[in-house]
Chains A and B, each alone.
Chain A
Amino acid sequence: MRSVYLWVPLALFAFFAGLAAYMLTQEKDQFVESTMIGQPLPEFALDPAYAGLPGAAKADFTGKPRLLNIWASWCLPCIAEAPQLEALQKQGVEIVGIAIRDRPEDVANFLAKYGNPYSRIGSDAISEVQLAIGSSGVPETFVIDGKGVIRYQHIGDIRESDVPKLLAELEKAR
Protein backbone atom coordinates (compact mmCIF):
# COMPACT_ATOMS: atom_id res chain seq x y z
CA MET A 1 0.00 0.00 0.00
CA ARG A 2 2.76 2.36 1.01
CA SER A 3 4.63 1.68 -2.19
CA VAL A 4 1.70 2.99 -4.24
CA TYR A 5 1.90 6.35 -2.48
CA LEU A 6 5.58 6.58 -3.29
CA TRP A 7 4.72 6.83 -7.00
CA VAL A 8 2.38 9.78 -6.50
CA PRO A 9 5.12 12.46 -6.72
CA LEU A 10 6.41 10.95 -9.94
CA ALA A 11 2.91 10.84 -11.42
CA LEU A 12 2.26 14.47 -10.53
CA PHE A 13 5.60 15.47 -11.93
CA ALA A 14 5.00 13.54 -15.14
CA PHE A 15 1.68 15.30 -15.57
CA PHE A 16 3.34 18.69 -15.14
CA ALA A 17 6.20 17.83 -17.48
CA GLY A 18 3.76 16.66 -20.13
CA LEU A 19 1.69 19.80 -19.82
CA ALA A 20 4.75 22.04 -19.91
CA ALA A 21 6.18 20.23 -22.92
CA TYR A 22 2.89 20.58 -24.73
CA MET A 23 2.64 24.28 -23.89
CA LEU A 24 6.19 24.89 -25.10
CA THR A 25 5.22 23.64 -28.54
CA GLN A 26 2.12 25.80 -28.65
CA GLU A 27 2.17 29.22 -30.24
CA LYS A 28 1.95 31.64 -27.35
CA ASP A 29 -1.36 33.45 -27.56
CA GLN A 30 -0.73 36.78 -25.92
CA PHE A 31 -3.99 38.43 -26.73
CA VAL A 32 -6.91 39.11 -24.49
CA GLU A 33 -9.88 38.45 -26.70
CA SER A 34 -13.07 40.39 -26.34
CA THR A 35 -16.02 38.37 -25.08
CA MET A 36 -18.41 40.78 -26.75
CA ILE A 37 -18.45 38.92 -30.09
CA GLY A 38 -22.10 38.30 -30.99
CA GLN A 39 -23.25 41.10 -28.69
CA PRO A 40 -24.62 44.44 -29.87
CA LEU A 41 -22.37 47.46 -29.59
CA PRO A 42 -22.91 49.37 -26.36
CA GLU A 43 -24.48 52.80 -26.63
CA PHE A 44 -21.92 55.50 -27.31
CA ALA A 45 -21.59 58.84 -29.05
CA LEU A 46 -18.11 60.28 -29.37
CA ASP A 47 -17.08 63.78 -30.40
CA PRO A 48 -15.07 64.22 -33.58
CA ALA A 49 -11.38 63.43 -33.07
CA TYR A 50 -10.45 66.37 -35.31
CA ALA A 51 -12.19 68.99 -37.38
CA GLY A 52 -12.03 67.11 -40.70
CA LEU A 53 -14.49 64.27 -40.04
CA PRO A 54 -17.65 63.72 -37.98
CA GLY A 55 -17.54 61.86 -34.66
CA ALA A 56 -18.73 58.30 -34.18
CA ALA A 57 -21.79 56.87 -32.45
CA LYS A 58 -23.54 53.54 -32.18
CA ALA A 59 -26.27 54.94 -34.41
CA ASP A 60 -23.81 55.08 -37.33
CA PHE A 61 -23.67 51.31 -37.55
CA THR A 62 -26.82 50.56 -39.49
CA GLY A 63 -27.62 49.15 -42.89
CA LYS A 64 -24.35 47.46 -43.86
CA PRO A 65 -21.36 45.88 -42.18
CA ARG A 66 -18.52 48.21 -41.29
CA LEU A 67 -15.11 48.05 -39.73
CA LEU A 68 -14.56 49.71 -36.38
CA ASN A 69 -10.87 50.54 -36.08
CA ILE A 70 -9.45 51.32 -32.64
CA TRP A 71 -6.24 53.27 -33.17
CA ALA A 72 -4.16 56.24 -32.07
CA SER A 73 -1.71 58.62 -33.65
CA TRP A 74 0.91 57.71 -31.03
CA CYS A 75 0.75 54.02 -31.80
CA LEU A 76 3.53 52.68 -34.04
CA PRO A 77 1.76 49.55 -35.39
CA CYS A 78 -1.05 51.86 -36.50
CA ILE A 79 1.36 53.33 -39.03
CA ALA A 80 2.12 49.83 -40.28
CA GLU A 81 -1.54 48.99 -40.85
CA ALA A 82 -2.42 52.28 -42.60
CA PRO A 83 -1.82 50.93 -46.16
CA GLN A 84 -4.06 47.91 -45.47
CA LEU A 85 -6.87 50.13 -44.19
CA GLU A 86 -6.44 52.25 -47.31
CA ALA A 87 -6.72 49.12 -49.48
CA LEU A 88 -9.85 48.00 -47.64
CA GLN A 89 -11.41 51.39 -48.10
CA LYS A 90 -10.59 51.28 -51.85
CA GLN A 91 -12.57 48.01 -52.01
CA GLY A 92 -15.60 49.83 -50.73
CA VAL A 93 -15.37 49.02 -47.01
CA GLU A 94 -16.53 51.76 -44.69
CA ILE A 95 -14.15 52.23 -41.77
CA VAL A 96 -15.16 54.05 -38.63
CA GLY A 97 -12.22 55.06 -36.46
CA ILE A 98 -12.00 55.57 -32.74
CA ALA A 99 -8.89 57.48 -31.68
CA ILE A 100 -7.74 56.55 -28.20
CA ARG A 101 -6.30 59.25 -25.90
CA ASP A 102 -5.46 61.49 -28.82
CA ARG A 103 -5.23 65.20 -29.64
CA PRO A 104 -6.92 66.75 -32.71
CA GLU A 105 -3.65 68.16 -34.10
CA ASP A 106 -1.89 64.79 -33.76
CA VAL A 107 -4.80 63.03 -35.46
CA ALA A 108 -4.72 65.53 -38.33
CA ASN A 109 -0.94 65.16 -38.72
CA PHE A 110 -1.17 61.36 -38.71
CA LEU A 111 -3.89 61.34 -41.36
CA ALA A 112 -2.00 63.83 -43.53
CA LYS A 113 1.12 61.69 -43.36
CA TYR A 114 -0.26 58.15 -43.62
CA GLY A 115 -3.56 58.65 -45.45
CA ASN A 116 -7.14 58.81 -44.27
CA PRO A 117 -9.26 55.70 -44.83
CA TYR A 118 -11.95 56.69 -42.32
CA SER A 119 -15.50 57.90 -42.85
CA ARG A 120 -15.78 59.10 -39.26
CA ILE A 121 -13.44 59.25 -36.26
CA GLY A 122 -14.62 59.52 -32.68
CA SER A 123 -12.31 60.73 -29.95
CA ASP A 124 -12.12 58.44 -26.91
CA ALA A 125 -9.93 60.37 -24.50
CA ILE A 126 -10.48 58.00 -21.57
CA SER A 127 -10.74 54.65 -23.41
CA GLU A 128 -14.40 54.49 -22.48
CA VAL A 129 -15.67 52.85 -25.67
CA GLN A 130 -12.54 50.74 -25.92
CA LEU A 131 -13.28 49.22 -22.51
CA ALA A 132 -16.97 48.88 -23.29
CA ILE A 133 -16.32 46.66 -26.33
CA GLY A 134 -13.64 44.57 -24.65
CA SER A 135 -10.68 45.85 -26.60
CA SER A 136 -7.38 45.74 -24.75
CA GLY A 137 -4.98 47.61 -26.98
CA VAL A 138 -4.30 49.58 -30.14
CA PRO A 139 -4.72 48.84 -32.93
CA GLU A 140 -7.69 46.53 -32.97
CA THR A 141 -10.32 46.17 -35.67
CA PHE A 142 -13.88 44.94 -35.18
CA VAL A 143 -16.37 43.84 -37.82
CA ILE A 144 -19.80 45.29 -36.98
CA ASP A 145 -22.83 44.10 -38.94
CA GLY A 146 -25.72 46.18 -40.24
CA LYS A 147 -27.63 45.75 -36.98
CA GLY A 148 -24.80 47.05 -34.85
CA VAL A 149 -23.74 43.60 -33.59
CA ILE A 150 -20.01 42.88 -33.07
CA ARG A 151 -19.16 39.94 -35.31
CA TYR A 152 -15.39 39.61 -35.36
CA GLN A 153 -12.31 41.01 -33.65
CA HIS A 154 -8.87 41.39 -35.17
CA ILE A 155 -6.14 42.10 -32.60
CA GLY A 156 -2.98 43.93 -33.60
CA ASP A 157 -2.06 45.64 -36.84
CA ILE A 158 -3.67 44.38 -40.03
CA ARG A 159 -1.09 42.74 -42.28
CA GLU A 160 -1.60 42.25 -46.00
CA SER A 161 -2.39 38.60 -45.33
CA ASP A 162 -5.21 39.59 -42.96
CA VAL A 163 -7.13 41.60 -45.56
CA PRO A 164 -8.94 38.65 -47.26
CA LYS A 165 -10.01 37.31 -43.85
CA LEU A 166 -11.49 40.68 -42.92
CA LEU A 167 -13.28 40.93 -46.28
CA ALA A 168 -14.69 37.45 -45.76
CA GLU A 169 -15.88 38.36 -42.26
CA LEU A 170 -17.53 41.50 -43.64
CA GLU A 171 -19.23 39.37 -46.29
CA LYS A 172 -20.41 36.90 -43.62
CA ALA A 173 -21.85 39.76 -41.58
CA ARG A 174 -23.92 40.96 -44.49
Chain B
Amino acid sequence: MIRFILAAIIALLALSVAAQDSMPPAPYAYNQLADPRLEAEASALMHTLRCLKCQSQSIADSDAPMAGDMRHQVRSRILAGESPDEIRRWLIARYGDYVSYEPEVSSTTWPLFVAPLLLLLVVGAVLLRRLGKRRSDAEGGDVA
Protein backbone atom coordinates (compact mmCIF):
# COMPACT_ATOMS: atom_id res chain seq x y z
CA MET B 1 0.00 0.00 0.00
CA ILE B 2 2.68 2.34 1.13
CA ARG B 3 4.65 2.13 -2.01
CA PHE B 4 1.87 2.38 -4.51
CA ILE B 5 0.70 5.61 -3.02
CA LEU B 6 4.12 7.01 -3.50
CA ALA B 7 3.83 5.72 -7.02
CA ALA B 8 0.50 7.33 -7.53
CA ILE B 9 1.87 10.60 -6.35
CA ILE B 10 4.68 10.36 -8.78
CA ALA B 11 2.28 9.26 -11.47
CA LEU B 12 0.26 12.37 -10.88
CA LEU B 13 3.46 14.20 -11.32
CA ALA B 14 3.96 12.36 -14.57
CA LEU B 15 0.48 13.47 -15.54
CA SER B 16 1.41 17.07 -15.01
CA VAL B 17 4.46 16.43 -17.11
CA ALA B 18 2.23 15.16 -19.88
CA ALA B 19 0.16 18.33 -19.70
CA GLN B 20 3.32 20.41 -19.74
CA ASP B 21 5.06 22.34 -22.40
CA SER B 22 6.75 20.81 -25.41
CA MET B 23 9.86 22.95 -25.09
CA PRO B 24 13.22 21.23 -25.04
CA PRO B 25 14.76 21.10 -21.57
CA ALA B 26 17.35 23.63 -20.50
CA PRO B 27 20.87 22.78 -21.68
CA TYR B 28 22.14 21.44 -18.37
CA ALA B 29 18.88 19.80 -17.27
CA TYR B 30 19.84 16.41 -18.70
CA ASN B 31 23.48 16.94 -19.59
CA GLN B 32 26.42 16.60 -17.31
CA LEU B 33 29.25 19.04 -16.85
CA ALA B 34 32.35 18.03 -18.74
CA ASP B 35 34.59 18.29 -15.68
CA PRO B 36 33.91 15.22 -13.52
CA ARG B 37 34.94 17.03 -10.34
CA LEU B 38 32.44 19.86 -10.94
CA GLU B 39 29.77 17.37 -11.98
CA ALA B 40 30.30 15.45 -8.74
CA GLU B 41 29.88 18.70 -6.78
CA ALA B 42 26.73 19.57 -8.73
CA SER B 43 25.33 16.08 -8.35
CA ALA B 44 25.90 16.04 -4.59
CA LEU B 45 24.14 19.39 -4.31
CA MET B 46 21.24 18.36 -6.55
CA HIS B 47 20.56 15.33 -4.38
CA THR B 48 19.95 17.61 -1.42
CA LEU B 49 17.61 20.10 -3.10
CA ARG B 50 13.92 19.48 -3.06
CA CYS B 51 11.91 19.32 -6.23
CA LEU B 52 9.24 21.88 -5.41
CA LYS B 53 6.64 20.30 -7.63
CA CYS B 54 7.15 16.73 -6.48
CA GLN B 55 6.44 14.62 -3.47
CA SER B 56 9.61 13.92 -1.51
CA GLN B 57 12.01 13.82 -4.40
CA SER B 58 15.21 15.68 -4.92
CA ILE B 59 15.72 17.57 -8.15
CA ALA B 60 18.23 14.88 -9.06
CA ASP B 61 15.48 12.23 -9.26
CA SER B 62 12.70 14.03 -11.02
CA ASP B 63 11.41 14.44 -14.53
CA ALA B 64 9.39 17.55 -13.66
CA PRO B 65 10.38 20.37 -16.02
CA MET B 66 10.95 22.70 -13.11
CA ALA B 67 13.37 20.20 -11.57
CA GLY B 68 15.18 20.19 -14.92
CA ASP B 69 15.40 23.97 -14.88
CA MET B 70 16.71 23.87 -11.32
CA ARG B 71 19.34 21.34 -12.35
CA HIS B 72 20.32 23.71 -15.13
CA GLN B 73 20.70 26.53 -12.59
CA VAL B 74 22.83 24.35 -10.34
CA ARG B 75 25.13 23.10 -13.08
CA SER B 76 25.53 26.44 -14.82
CA ARG B 77 26.23 28.22 -11.55
CA ILE B 78 28.77 25.58 -10.52
CA LEU B 79 30.38 26.00 -13.93
CA ALA B 80 30.46 29.77 -13.39
CA GLY B 81 32.49 29.17 -10.24
CA GLU B 82 29.88 29.45 -7.51
CA SER B 83 30.26 27.13 -4.56
CA PRO B 84 27.50 24.63 -3.72
CA ASP B 85 26.90 26.48 -0.47
CA GLU B 86 26.33 29.76 -2.27
CA ILE B 87 23.83 28.12 -4.60
CA ARG B 88 22.00 26.54 -1.70
CA ARG B 89 21.83 29.88 0.09
CA TRP B 90 20.60 31.53 -3.11
CA LEU B 91 17.74 29.05 -3.34
CA ILE B 92 16.93 29.22 0.39
CA ALA B 93 16.72 33.02 0.04
CA ARG B 94 13.98 32.43 -2.54
CA TYR B 95 12.06 29.43 -1.25
CA GLY B 96 12.95 29.19 2.42
CA ASP B 97 14.29 26.11 4.22
CA TYR B 98 11.73 24.00 2.38
CA VAL B 99 13.89 23.81 -0.73
CA SER B 100 16.86 22.23 1.03
CA TYR B 101 17.04 18.73 2.42
CA GLU B 102 20.43 19.44 3.91
CA PRO B 103 19.80 20.18 7.53
CA GLU B 104 21.01 23.62 8.50
CA VAL B 105 20.56 24.77 12.03
CA SER B 106 18.06 27.59 11.97
CA SER B 107 15.24 28.88 14.10
CA THR B 108 12.90 26.40 12.47
CA THR B 109 15.10 23.31 12.37
CA TRP B 110 17.06 23.27 15.65
CA PRO B 111 14.84 20.62 17.30
CA LEU B 112 15.94 18.18 14.60
CA PHE B 113 19.50 18.50 15.87
CA VAL B 114 18.72 18.59 19.53
CA ALA B 115 16.63 15.44 19.27
CA PRO B 116 19.44 13.01 18.37
CA LEU B 117 21.58 14.43 21.17
CA LEU B 118 18.74 14.11 23.65
CA LEU B 119 18.11 10.65 22.32
CA LEU B 120 21.75 9.76 22.91
CA LEU B 121 21.35 10.86 26.53
CA VAL B 122 18.13 8.89 26.91
CA VAL B 123 19.69 5.84 25.30
CA GLY B 124 22.69 6.15 27.59
CA ALA B 125 20.45 6.46 30.63
CA VAL B 126 18.28 3.50 29.63
CA LEU B 127 21.30 1.31 28.97
CA LEU B 128 22.90 2.33 32.24
CA ARG B 129 19.72 1.53 34.12
CA ARG B 130 19.14 -1.79 32.36
CA LEU B 131 22.69 -2.97 32.08
CA GLY B 132 25.06 -0.92 34.21
CA LYS B 133 23.42 -1.35 37.59
CA ARG B 134 22.36 -4.89 36.90
CA ARG B 135 25.92 -5.98 36.63
CA SER B 136 26.71 -4.95 40.16
CA ASP B 137 23.67 -6.68 41.61
CA ALA B 138 24.28 -9.63 39.41
CA GLU B 139 27.72 -10.06 40.88
CA GLY B 140 26.28 -10.07 44.38
CA GLY B 141 23.01 -11.83 43.81
CA ASP B 142 23.82 -14.22 41.07
CA VAL B 143 25.08 -17.01 43.26
CA ALA B 144 21.75 -17.40 44.98
Task: Give chain A's interface residues, CB within 8 Å of chain B.
Answer: 32-36, 72, 74, 76, 100-103, 125-128, 130-134, 136-137
Report the minimal beta-carbon distance from A68 to chain B, rounded to whole angstroms.
15
Q: What band does the interface of chain B fall in when counting residues whose beta carbon is under 8 Å from A?
A: 20 to 34
Interface residues of B in 53-81 (CB under 8 A from A): 53, 65-66, 69-70, 72-73
Q: A102-B21, A133-B94 are in contact. List 9 more A-B contacts (CB 8 A).
A: A32-B52, A35-B92, A35-B95, A35-B96, A100-B21, A127-B66, A130-B69, A131-B69, A136-B66
Total A-B residue contacts, Cβ distance less than 8 Å: 63
Rounded to whole angstroms, the CA-CA distance of A131 and B91 in the bound complex is: 8
26 contacts between A and B (CB under 8 A): A32-B95, A32-B99, A33-B96, A34-B94, A34-B95, A35-B95, A72-B21, A74-B19, A74-B21, A100-B21, A101-B21, A101-B23, A101-B69, A103-B23, A126-B27, A126-B72, A127-B65, A127-B66, A127-B69, A127-B70, A128-B73, A131-B69, A131-B91, A131-B94, A133-B94, A136-B53
Report the minimal beta-carbon distance from A173 to chain B, rounded to whole angstroms.
20
* Residues from chain B with Cβ under 8 Å of A133 in the complex: 94
Decide: A131 near B73, CB < 8 A? Known: A101-B23, A101-B65.
Answer: yes
* Residues from chain B with Cβ under 8 Å of A101 in the complex: 20-21, 23, 65, 69
Are B53 and A102 in touch, CB under 8 angstroms?
A: no
